[in-house]
Amino acid sequence: MLLIICPIMAFCSTDAEVTIEVINQTALVNKCFVGDAIITFNNIELYNENVKFSYHIYDEEGNILVFENERIPFSLQGNVATISLNIDFDKYEQLKRKNKFVVKLDLVDEQNIYWFGDNAHINFKPYYIQYDLNTVSIAKQKYGQVIKNQKGILIMNIVFDITIVILFFMYKKKQR
């Protein structure tokens, strides 16, 4: 079972000329993505001020649902840029009845008129996010985030819950 937000693959390798990675992503129950995208230009010649961050949305079979989306400008610090994202997918009519879809994070060069993901002459490694909004996936994602980010609090809650259950049974046993 897939999670609400889980990377299919980050595809980040040292031989890629340009990569996109995602960090600090937050799983939300609705069709929304919050996180930071890190764009790395290992070939700085591919960057110009008209390169923008964007994304494409596909169905489970890989058919395009929404191709043209907002374009987010960014500037490099050295050869890296970080973009804070808050993308609301509920605004897309094509996704109203969809509980599963794939988002491909991409770059577009508006000066030279091409998408990095479609340009065979660039070794570009995009980032994919798989959405699965069924109830089981939502529960797995929520607990997965807690286990990953808040292990100490989770352990304390489990110990507390077990203690309460034991005390309850001891109390009931004394009542008899």
Residues 120-163 have pLDDT tens digits of 999 999 999 888 776 555 556 556 666 666 778 878 888 999 99
pTM of the predicted protein model: 0.68
Where b means 16+ CB within 10 Å and e means fewer, 136-162 reads: ebbebbeebbeeeeeeeeeeeeeeeee
From residue 163, alpha-carbon distances to 156, 166, 168, 173 in Å are 10, 5, 8, 15
Cα–chain center distance at 7: 6
- Tell me: the pLDDT tens digits for 56-107? 999 989 999 999 899 999 999 999 999 998 888 888 888 888 888 999 999 9
DSSP secondary structure string, 27-78? --SSSEEEEEEEEEESSGGG--TTEEEEEEEE-TTS-EEE-----EE---BT
